[in-house]
Amino acid sequence: MKFSVSLVADGDREMTIDEIVELADAVAAHDGIASGIGSTSYGAQIVVEAPTSDKAVEVAIAEFVAAAKRAGLPDWPVARVETIADDDELEEEG
């Protein structure tokens, strides 16, 4: 099952446009988008395949941390994670 997972890492300084663009490039392979310009956090929404929401969180955190590292971002802790299953989206539309 596919899950859309939103993640945010909180830190201690403002993120630049260039840093968030690098993160966007790093999460693009997972149909991802990035956020955080001018804030003391950076985030992404990515799509992952997993059998359950809990497993989706586990997979997404690993992908997010790896993407942040590839983008050269600070190693900040993941503070928030939310998942939405494809089934949930279909129910909301119906």
Q: Give me the tens of pLDDT residue by residue for the chain, a chain 94 residues long.
A: 999 999 999 999 999 999 999 999 999 999 999 999 999 999 999 999 999 999 999 999 999 999 999 999 999 999 999 999 987 544 454 4
pTM, 2 dp: 0.89
Bridge pairing between strands 2-10 and 78-85: antiparallel
* Domain 2-93: CATH architecture, name and number where available: 2-Layer Sandwich (3.30)
**Backbone angle region of 33, left / alpha / beta, with phi > 0 → left and psi within -120 to 50 → alpha:** beta
2 closest CA partner among 44, 47, 33: 47
